[in-house]
Amino acid sequence: MCGIFGCILKEGNAAPLIHASLKRLEYRGYDSVGIATLNDNKIQLKKDQGKIDEVHRILNLDDLPGTIGIGHTRWATHGAPLKVNAHPHSDCTSEIIAVHNGIIENFIELKSELQNLGHIFASKTDTEIIPHLIEESMKTNPSLSFAEAVQETIKRLEGSYALAVMSTREPDKIVCARNESPLVLGVNGNGVFCASDIPAFLPITNKAVMINNGELVILSPNGYEIKKIKDSTPVNREPETIEWTPEMAVKQGYPHFMIKEIHEQPQTLRNTLRMQDNYLDLITTFLDRASEVFMVACGTSYHACLAASYMFSKLAFLPTYPVYASEFVEQHGKSVNIDSTILAVSQSGETADTLAAVTCAQQRAATILGLTNVIGSTLTRVSRVYIGTQSGPEIGVAATKTFTSQLSVLAQLALRLSKKRGKISQDEMDCLEEKLLQLPDTVDTIVRTQEEKVKQIAKKYKDSKVFFFLGRGISTATAFEGRLKLMEIAYIPSIAFPAGESKHGPISLVENGFPVVFICPKDDSHKTLIGNIMEMKARGAHIIAVIEEGDEQIKALADDYIEVPKGIPSVLSPIPFAVPLQLLAYYVALEKNYNPDMPRNLAKSVTVK
């Protein structure tokens, strides 16, 4: 999740405006920054790694001539957060320059095709192929206008993008395009702007034009022209007036980052499904070779590991040990050795306990694999191989979108390992792969159809003194995560157990009206789980069940239920089933007048042991 901005001004220098606008997009990422302007038919460029203020202090980003320019603040996905990978990126002739937010899935094929044609690449990014493809297109077909060459190029891209491109050949234009990554235009008396998000230009104009998937935009001193990428059909769209305050705009109109991030999950899950095969394959190879695998993490990331231990066991017959990172050194520090593999999972990549576990294992020559949302974090530097979860910055303290992204990547690893080891049938594999691809839509359906219902449930149970969360098998991890969310932001003491364990002690707490949340995918545990629900009901518990649509048996037993779409395989169930629990925690916190984005005593990244 990067931020892009471009502008064509009637008066004044573009660079200071681009700089100020990128600052307002910094919440989308801040690994590196770059600005390019066009002046006297030449591209002027400044870029470097680091936060915008740091780079500005050294380079003076405002000091670039010209009334037209583009800029970028980066959240690294392909290539480390280094100067060489900072946007904008240009072609071989330095006549075409581009900024991009998104992931080009087929960039490896396109890059090698371009290399065979003699193109030289400077960076490891997927973006750099875009100016080179445009260059190639203009070379092979000189009659094309700049916008037509961009259009031809975009037709070859697979994946997500919001991009803005300039060329010295038509120095009064910026061409932009969108597929899945956000893009919006702004207009005022002094010019036109394109940006990843409205906050970028809100202080200078509240007149915005939303750009849809599959659209190309030509910005010029005369204004903007929108057309469909596939067939050039013109699109007429007038600016609308945005009533948001700048603070509301950063949250895209949502009252809190947490709910915005819950709603972002269909998109972040789509991003995780665009993971490059080579990284997934490399980690799969290490896992395949390992004689023992410890998955170390804290908090929500630990719950992702717990769920993954079921995935690896069921799909790839690989036993793994999920371990709280804070316990790892005491529990396994002496036995871990050269044959051990550590898969460390951390949203921030900076959690002190996770890094301490990694350091201990590294000193004993174990292999370190990393899964993190922050490329360039300490975890990426100490891992033999790492994967980024592609969720974009998470600002709400409670992890939501990064949890489901971690699960999606871990599920993909388990599926790959299963395939490599030939552990499940082709039919089962096909079905799981298909269901995995459907998860973004499944989560979208849940958020759209169940949010109101969850709000009502939150109202009903907001004064409960304690909650139980129960599930069987892989849903134990979902139950743990539901409980952590509710405890950390709504401050309600909560207990989670594997449902089968509840009668070995915790059930003694249950009395009339005691809320028990059951996680009920329709898997092998369904029948037994019904027995556990009956046990609780018999003692007066109120049952809140998260069920599959049409699960009449559990509907009949539950006091309240939340439905997720049918047919979700057990091993993938924590992804959709966690979403209603995130919503429940959020709305209970609101009912109790707590700010879910800033729970007391907590920090987004815990860098002390």
User: Catalytic site residues?
Assistant: 2, 604
606 scored as a contact of ligand F6R (CB under 6 A) = yes
By C-alpha distance, which of 50, 126, 53, 108 is closest to 83? 50
> What are the phi and psi torsion angles at 333 (to 5°)?
-55, -35
Q: Does 309 bind ligand F6R (CB under 6 A)?
A: no
- Residue 359 touching ligand F6R (CB under 6 A): no
Q: Residue 410's CB: how many other CB atoms inside 10 A?
A: 25
Report the residue number, 149 or 259, with the smaller CB distance to ligand F6R.
259
Which span (15-23, 208-216, 341-349, 381-389) binds ligand F6R, by CB under 6 A?
Answer: 341-349
Q: Which of residues 469-508 bind ligand F6R (CB under 6 A)?
A: 484, 488
CB of 544 to ligand F6R, least distance (A): 20
Q: How many whole angstroms separate alpha carbon 524 and alpha carbon 475?
A: 12
What is the pattern of x (binds ligand F6R, CB under 6 A) and - over residues 178-217? Answer: ----------------------------------------
Asked if 582 interacts with ligand F6R (CB under 6 A), we say no
Interatomic CA distance for residues 43 and 167, integer angstroms:
8
The one among 21, 181, 347, 389 contacting ligand F6R by CB under 6 A: 347
Amino acid sitting at position 456: Q
Q: 74, 88 in Cβ contact below 8 A?
A: no
Q: Single out the residue of 179, 348, 367, 408 in contact with ligand F6R (rule: CB under 6 A).
A: 348
First to last CA, the chain: 30
Instruction: Tell me if 298 contacts ligand F6R by CB under 6 A.
Output: yes
Cα(134)–Cα(154) distance, integer angstroms: 9
Which residue spans within 169-238 are E strands per DSSP? 174-179, 184-188, 191-195, 207-210, 215-220, 223-228, 234-235
Q: Based on the shown chain and the rule CB under 6 A, indicate whether residue 308 belongs to the binding site for ligand F6R.
A: no
The closest alpha carbon to 367, from 458, 469, 283, belongs to 283
Q: Is 299 among the residues that bind ligand F6R (CB under 6 A)?
A: yes
Q: Which is nearer to ligand F6R, 275 or 399 (CB)?
A: 399
Instruction: For ligand F6R, give the closer residue by CB, 284 or 351.
Output: 351
Give the one residue of 73, 90, 153, 354 binding ligand F6R; rule: CB under 6 A.
Answer: 354
Q: What is the dihedral of CA 552, 553, 559, 563, to 10 degrees?
A: -50
Pick from 90, 153, 326, 346: which binds ligand F6R (CB under 6 A)? 346
Task: Give the span between the Cα atoms of 251 and 230, in whole angstroms.
Answer: 32
Q: What letter represents residue 311's amino acid?
A: M
Could you say whether residue 351 binds ligand F6R (CB under 6 A)?
yes
The answer to the question of residue 301 lying near ligand F6R (CB under 6 A) is yes
Q: Rule CB under 6 A: is residue 605 a binding residue for ligand F6R?
A: yes
How many residues bind ligand F6R, per CB under 6 A? 15
Least separation in angstroms between CB 394 and ligand F6R: 8
Determine the interface stretch with ligand F6R among 8-16, 95-103, 342-350, 546-554 (rule: CB under 6 A).
342-350
Nearest by Cα to 575 from 371, 448, 437, 396: 437
Is the bond leading into 199 cis (omega within 30 degrees of zero)?
no
Where along the sequence are the contacts to ligand F6R (CB under 6 A)?
298-301, 346-348, 351, 354, 398-399, 484, 488, 605-606
